[in-house]
Structure formats: structure tokens, C-alpha cells
Chains A and B, each alone.
Chain A
Amino acid sequence: MAEKMELNEIEVWDGNHAAAQALRQAQVDVVAAYPITPSTPIVEGYGAFMANGYIDGEFVMVESEHAAMSGCVGASAAGGRVATATSSQGFMLMIEVLYQASGMRLPIVLNVVNRAVASPLNVRGDHGDMYAGRDSGWIQLDAFNAQEVYDLNLCAFKIGEDINVRLPVMVHQDGFTTSHTAQNIRPLSDDEAYAFVGDFKPVDEMLDFSKAVTYGAQTEEDWHYEHKAKQHRALMDSYTVIDRVFEEFEKKTGREYKRLETYMMDDAEVAIVALGATVETCILAAKQLREEEGIKAGVVAPRCIRPFPFNEMRDVLANVKAVATLDHSAPMGAMGMLYNEVAGAMVSTQDRPLITNFIYGLGGRDFSINEAKRIFREQKGHADVGYITTEIQQFSGLRGPKLGFYEMKRS
């Protein structure tokens, strides 16, 4: 029996340690993992709990990230709680198995400590890995700080393992900015946390030999389409369970989560849509602009990247005049993902805002409050004249000549 850990009401943890603690409290049965910066301390932290008797489960240190997720799939199909962590190149190596895990409807929890993707090699944070996973059939939750990493990990098990969901869940946090920055965390006690997550309930497990189960069958054109459509539907419908789990979590902790987080949006004239720790930068910028310059600025941040909160996005931006979508990933030949998702939601309304796209912070380049304020002001300019005066896609904080693409077509 694993020993319980006495935690203080307020602990000082970084994002990685917060994730490791949540995995420990959820009493994960198998962690199969491989180290990679900046997610390594999650695995190391878990290893320390293991070495000191705080964990009853199995800790399998494999020889690659592909094997880490493969081991998680085998373990999950054997009917228990499974989790792991990775970043960047490790995430890329895992991708084949991410699709296999979701296709088999296995509720694995993966902590993705977001980091840029090579080449050139870079260990700092951007969302290149997060974006590469967005078609993989996983629920993707995004934490903007270490407290949220802890909270969302506990929620992730409860969401993914729900009988009406049965899908794997990623919890994203920004490499270094969140993963290595200590902050005050209010954890639940071990008992409270486990009571919230609940016991794992096996479904079609390989270790129940009263009924043979086949995992990972072959389907060709006769059935593949129906399988994938059903999987998409499960992901689209999972929002009801996500909302319910967030409500339960709020009742327990007072901490409120929504699939689409909004800040100062009630009367906002201009808005930024962003992900990750940048959300907090943008909130500070919006507050300052409201106080200093009277600009009605607000911030919108998908807590849930998949399933994408399409309706909520459309509703919250319906009365906004100009929106900047901030993508922390190299778009490579198109508009950024957030631009496309937001534009996709807004194109189904009559009164749609002017929407621009900023690429920023690739490979860990700093994104400042002042830059967020400059972007807000630029949107205010668009709102005032009624059209986009700049190129639609711009690169923020790039050295050398200004880089931008496309202009608004005005009839």
C-alpha cells in the first residue's frame, strides 16, 4: 500500500512537479515514460515518489517515446489507469501511437510540456508539438500556469475515463515558462484528490479472461469510415462530460474552469485569442490598456483545444470589432491554427469581427506585455476605421525586416 504524503495548504511547485503530484494522487497503475527536456522532471519526480514508497503502480522507463506510448497502450488495454509525459521531438516520435491509442479508445493521460520542434534544434517553449497533435483524436486541455496543470491533470483522468468518453487526454503546459517556474499551489489532500478522480473502471480489459477481446483490428473501406466518424462524434460529444467534471471540480475547490476561458469580454471592443502562459501576459496587457488608455480590450483562451469550443468562440466574439489570433507555432504555408479555427467559427455569423493572425515567440522568444499592448492597439485601429490596415498575418518580435502576408480585400 502506497504511503500517503502530507501536503501543506499551499505548496511551492512548478508545472512539472504539479503534474507529477497529480499523477501520484490519481494512483496511476502504469507510467511508461522516456525523458526529454523540459518534461523530464515529471518523470523524475514520479521516480522519486516510486523510490520512497509513495506509489504502488509500475514505473516502466522504456527506450524511446514511441515505446513509451506503446507501453501505455498495452497497459491501458489491460484495464488500469495509465499516464506519461513528453515534449517536442519525443511527442513527434509518439505521434503514430497517439492515433492508435485514440482509435482504440484508451483513456491515457499525456502531459505535454510544450517545446519547439527541430530543425533547428531548440529546447524552449512554443506550441509546435501541441499543434502536431491536434488531429490525433485526443482531448487537448491547456494549462496556463502550474496550478492549472495540477487541476487539469486530476480532471483529465475523470474526463477521459468516463464511460461516455473513453478517449485519451493531453494536458498541455508551456515549456520552462510554466514547467520550470515555481508558484504557490493549493493542492487537494491525497484522499480528496483520489476521491475526486475515483477508482478506475475497466472496460473490455485484456486481463478479464471470461471474454476474449481483440484490440487494434484491421478495417478497410467497408468499416474504417464508420469507426473514424464514431470516434469524431465521441470527441465532439465529450464536451458535456468536460463541463460536468469542471463543475464538480469547482464545487470541490472553488476553482472555475471553462472550455473557453474569457477575460474582460463583457464589453470588449477588441480581443486577443491565445493559448498557454501567453494568456496571462495578454490579460495584464488588457487590464493596463483599459486603465491607461480606455481601450476596451479582452482576452479569449481555449482551455479545450480539442474538442474545439466552436459555438462558445462564435458567441463570445460576436460583438467584438477586431480580433488578433496569436499562434505560438510556425504556420508553414498557411494561416495559424487559431486564426483558422476562429475564422471558421466567425464565418457562420452575420456580424463578424476583423480577424488578424500573429505568429510569435517561436523557439522561446519572449513575448512581452508591451507587445501584447501594441497588438491590442493595432486592433483598435482596425476597429476604428472598419477594415484591416495591416497585413492579415504578421510575425511579432521577429528580428530583421517586417514579415507579413495577405491583405484584406475591400469591395
Chain B
Amino acid sequence: MAITSIKNLKEFSTNNERLEGAHLLCPGCAHSMIVRELLNCTDDNLVVATNTGCLEVSTAVYPYTSWDTSWIHIGFENAATAAAGAEAMYKARKRKGTLKDPDAPVKFVAFGGDGSTYDIGFQWLSGAVERGHDFTYICLDNENYANTGGQRSSATPTGAHTSTAQAGRVSYGKKQKKKDMVAIMAAHGAPYVAQLSPNKWKSMAKGFQKALETEGPCFINTVSACTTEWKFDPKDTIHVTDLATDSLMFPIYEIINGTELNILYRPKNIIPVEEYLAAQGRYRHLFKPENRHVIDMIQKEVNEKWEYLQRREEARV
């Protein structure tokens, strides 16, 4: 398969542009960075399915479309199945000889936000991965239902304020832990699973390429900093994302065939989670004295997860 050179960001960013700039995403939204990296990292034809969400409502408002490739949106929950259906049709038509260009390589990609991936579309994704369709699912994880105004999802981390898990006089925000979607998808036996981040653009592009090259269902959770609901200045998207990866709130790693875990980024200086939290309005309440224990709890969990990932990498199991 043809893969574009990714040595140089300037060159890479202009290659094979298939998401037109005139879309309606918020200034500073990381979604378009992630999507463009995916579209730019291959020369193959792409069929893209997208769940309902920020990306979908911002890129396909009739009579316009931002997508210069085959694109489909059905509902909130079923992009994985739309991609699976298209992939099945591709196989059938290739076998029967009814494709217009039977030799051109085609890749099937599905995008979903965390709401449609961790919550409402969980079953559709699980089914499509279990059936082994040859496609790549990319979750644009901004840790809330941003398209509907910032409600909690099962990807919202402990302590974050959302409109349906509010911080208030007697509440520190979301009480529950974030669902470990990467582990769940690895447990499906998917051949390639990863968590990647747009501030580490090269490792993200390489991870995308690996997923596209791998036959079978691949899942990638990407960190998508949300200027509107995380509440930071739009110019700081990559800065906040740097804090996310360097505090290890979002460790960058891959799991191959459900077992082989590789850490893809080790911060030279690991920063306290407090610095990451302090950069965002959604965590402001945690800095009241009575909520200090929540920050400590988050730090403890981040430490434990990092320890776990390192041990798994070392043990090669």
C-alpha cells in the first residue's frame, strides 16, 4: 500500500488533503487535527463512516460537505457497523467483479466521539470488532458529550465538572472512573489497539498507518482536547495536550494482538497531574481545600496505571 512520507510536518500537512478547511468545528478543536492526520497518512482510497457528534455535524451540513472522499453517517451509535457493511460489500463485489476499479486499494475507517464509542455505540463497535471486519475505528475522545453541550460520558474522568455531573456545594463533579476502552478493545483480540495523541503527531501518524496496514479490526483512542468544554483558550490546544501526555493522564501506548504492549512516549520530565488539571476550567473546583483529596486520588490512579503499563511492557504479556 502507498503511504505518504511523514518525515516533515509541513509536507505531511498538505499531502492528500481530504477534509476541506471550511468546516464548523470550534476554533482550537483537536478533532480536525486528528482526522486530517488519518486522511493524510495514506494514499489509499478511503470509505469513512462517522457517528453523530461534533465531527459529523460540523462537516456535512447540506448543501455542503467537507469530505473529499466517500463518507457516510447513519446514527449516533452505528458508524462501526456502517463501515463493516461497506467492507462486506467491497469483499462481495470484488469477488463478483462488479467494482469499477477492482485493483485500487481501499481502507475502511470509522470515527466516533467518546459518547458514541464508550457509551451508546459500544455494542456496535464490539460486534464489528468481534466479527473481524477489516477496518480502523478511531475514537475522538474529548471526555464528554460536547456536541450537546457538555454532559458526562463514561469517558469523563473522575473529578471533572460536566452539565450532568456537576461540581457544586456538595459535589466535586464526576464520581466514577473513566472506562478503560483501550483495554476492553485489546481484550477483543483486535490485532492493533492504541492510545495516541495529536501533540505527538509523528507517533500518531505511525500508529494510524500501522492500523490501516493491519488486516482486521483496529481501534485507536485519541486524545482530543476540547476548548469549549474543558474550558481553555483555543490557542492552547496543543499546550493542554502536552500537559495531558506529560502528566501521564493520557499515556501513549499500543497493544498488538491483545498482549504485546509497547509504550510509545516516555515524558522526560513527568509533571504532576495538578498542572494538567489547573490548565482547565472543568477542574477549577478541585483546587478548593475541601477537594484536595480528589487531586491526590487522581494522581495516585495515574501513578498506578503508569506502573501497570510499564510492567506489562516489560513482561511482554
Complexed CA–CA distance, A208 and B89 (Å): 12
Q: A216 to B72, Cβ gap below 8 A?
A: yes
Q: A217 to B62, Cβ gap below 8 A?
A: yes
Q: Give the residue of B67, B88, B92, B101 whose beta carbon is less than 8 angstroms from that of A71.
A: B88
Q: Which 9 A-B pairs have the closest CB atoms?
A: A74-B85, A63-B127, A74-B82, A78-B89, A70-B78, A71-B85, A216-B73, A206-B70, A75-B85
Q: Give the residue of A56, A76, A207, A210 whose beta carbon is less than 8 angstroms from that of B90.
A: A207
A56-B96, A60-B88, A71-B85 as given contacts; A223 in contact with B62, CB under 8 Å: yes
Q: B82 to A70, Cβ gap below 8 A?
A: yes
B57, B74, B126: residue with the most chain A Cβ atoms closer than 10 Å = B74
What is the CB-to-nearest-CB distance from B42 to chain A, in angstroms, rounded to a whole number? 13
A58-B88, A62-B81, A73-B74 as given contacts; A79 in contact with B131, CB under 8 Å: no
Assign chain B's interface to a size class.
35 or more
Can you pick out 12 interface pairs between chain A and chain B where the beta carbons lie within 8 Å of each other? A56-B92, A63-B123, A73-B82, A73-B85, A74-B83, A74-B86, A75-B89, A80-B89, A210-B101, A214-B60, A218-B57, A219-B62
Q: B74 to A206, Cβ gap below 8 A?
A: no
Complexed CA–CA distance, A64 and B77 (Å): 12
A74-B83, A214-B60, A214-B67 as given contacts; A80 in contact with B74, CB under 8 Å: no
Q: B65 to A56, Cβ gap below 8 A?
A: no
B45: chain A residues within 8 A (beta carbon): 209
A77: chain B residues within 8 A (beta carbon): 72, 82, 85-86
Complexed CA–CA distance, A297 and B45 (Å): 63
Does A383 interact with chain B (Cβ within 8 Å)? no
Does A67 interact with chain B (Cβ within 8 Å)? yes
What is the CB-to-nearest-CB distance from A36 to chain B, in angstroms, rounded to a whole number? 16
Does B8 interact with chain A (Cβ within 8 Å)? no
B78: chain A residues within 8 A (beta carbon): 66-67, 70, 97
Q: B92 to A29, Cβ gap below 8 A?
A: yes
What is the CB-to-nearest-CB distance from A24 to chain B, in angstroms, rounded to a whole number? 14
Q: Give the residue of A29, A80, A209 whose beta carbon is less than 8 angstroms from that of B101.
A: A209
Does B75 interact with chain A (Cβ within 8 Å)? yes
Q: A80 to B92, Cβ gap below 8 A?
A: yes
What is the CB-to-nearest-CB distance from A267 to chain B, in angstroms, rounded to a whole number? 51
A214: chain B residues within 8 A (beta carbon): 60, 65, 67, 71-72
What is the CB-to-nearest-CB distance from B37 to chain A, in angstroms, rounded to a whole number? 19
Does A397 interact with chain B (Cβ within 8 Å)? no
What is the CB-to-nearest-CB distance from B20 to chain A, in angstroms, rounded to a whole number? 10
Q: A208 to B123, Cβ gap below 8 A?
A: no
- Nearest residue, chain B, Cβ from A62: B127
Binding site for B on A (CB under 8 A): 29-30, 32, 56-58, 60-64, 66-67, 70-80, 82, 96-97, 100, 200, 206-210, 212-220, 223, 227
Complexed CA–CA distance, A86 and B75 (Å): 20
What is the CB-to-nearest-CB distance from A210 to chain B, in angstroms, rounded to a whole number? 7
A74-B84, A74-B86 as given contacts; A215 in contact with B71, CB under 8 Å: yes
Q: A64 to B74, Cβ gap below 8 A?
A: no
Complexed CA–CA distance, A22 and B81 (Å): 25
Q: B124 to A212, Cβ gap below 8 A?
A: no
What is the CB-to-nearest-CB distance from A219 to chain B, in angstroms, rounded to a whole number? 5
A75: chain B residues within 8 A (beta carbon): 85-86, 88-89
What is the CB-to-nearest-CB distance from A170 to chain B, in angstroms, rounded to a whole number? 18
Complexed CA–CA distance, A70 and B127 (Å): 12
Complexed CA–CA distance, A227 and B100 (Å): 29
Does B98 interact with chain A (Cβ within 8 Å)? yes
A32: chain B residues within 8 A (beta carbon): 81, 85, 88
Complexed CA–CA distance, A214 and B89 (Å): 17
- Nearest residue, chain B, Cβ from A31: B88
Complexed CA–CA distance, A220 and B61 (Å): 8
Does B68 interact with chain A (Cβ within 8 Å)? yes
Complexed CA–CA distance, A261 and B84 (Å): 40
- Nearest residue, chain B, Cβ from A220: B61
Does B278 interact with chain A (Cβ within 8 Å)? no
**Which B residues, 33 to 74, have Cβ-Cβ distances below 8 Å to chain A?**
45, 47, 49, 56-57, 60-63, 65, 67-74
- Nearest residue, chain A, Cβ from B72: A215
- Nearest residue, chain A, Cβ from B84: A71
A78-B90, A80-B93, A80-B98 as given contacts; A207 in contact with B70, CB under 8 Å: yes
A96: chain B residues within 8 A (beta carbon): 75
Q: A70 to B96, Cβ gap below 8 A?
A: no
Q: A223 to B91, Cβ gap below 8 A?
A: no
Does B106 interact with chain A (Cβ within 8 Å)? yes
Does B317 interact with chain A (Cβ within 8 Å)? no
**Which B residues, 85 to 115, have Cβ-Cβ distances below 8 Å to chain A?**
85-86, 88-93, 95-96, 98-101, 104, 106
Complexed CA–CA distance, A79 and B90 (Å): 9
A71: chain B residues within 8 A (beta carbon): 81-82, 84-85, 88
Q: A60 to B71, Cβ gap below 8 A?
A: no
B65, B88, B96, B101: residue with the most chain A Cβ atoms closer than 10 Å = B88
- Nearest residue, chain B, Cβ from A28: B92
Complexed CA–CA distance, A288 and B137 (Å): 63
Q: Give the residue of A60, A61, A70, A209 whose beta carbon is less than 8 angstroms from that of B74.
A: A70
**Which B residues, 251 to 272, have Cβ-Cβ distances below 8 Å to chain A?**
none
Complexed CA–CA distance, A100 and B127 (Å): 20
What is the CB-to-nearest-CB distance from A240 to chain B, in angstroms, rounded to a whole number? 28
- Beyond A80-B93, A212-B69, 5 additional contacts (C-beta under 8 Å) are A58-B91, A60-B84, A79-B93, A206-B71, A212-B65
- Nearest residue, chain A, Cβ from B81: A70
A70-B81, A100-B74 as given contacts; A218 in contact with B62, CB under 8 Å: yes
Q: Give the residue of B57, B71, B75 whose beta carbon is less than 8 angstroms from that of A70.
A: B75
Complexed CA–CA distance, A67 and B82 (Å): 9
Q: A30 to B88, Cβ gap below 8 A?
A: yes
A63-B123, A70-B85, A71-B81 as given contacts; A209 in contact with B70, CB under 8 Å: yes
B95: chain A residues within 8 A (beta carbon): 56
Q: A216 to B74, Cβ gap below 8 A?
A: yes
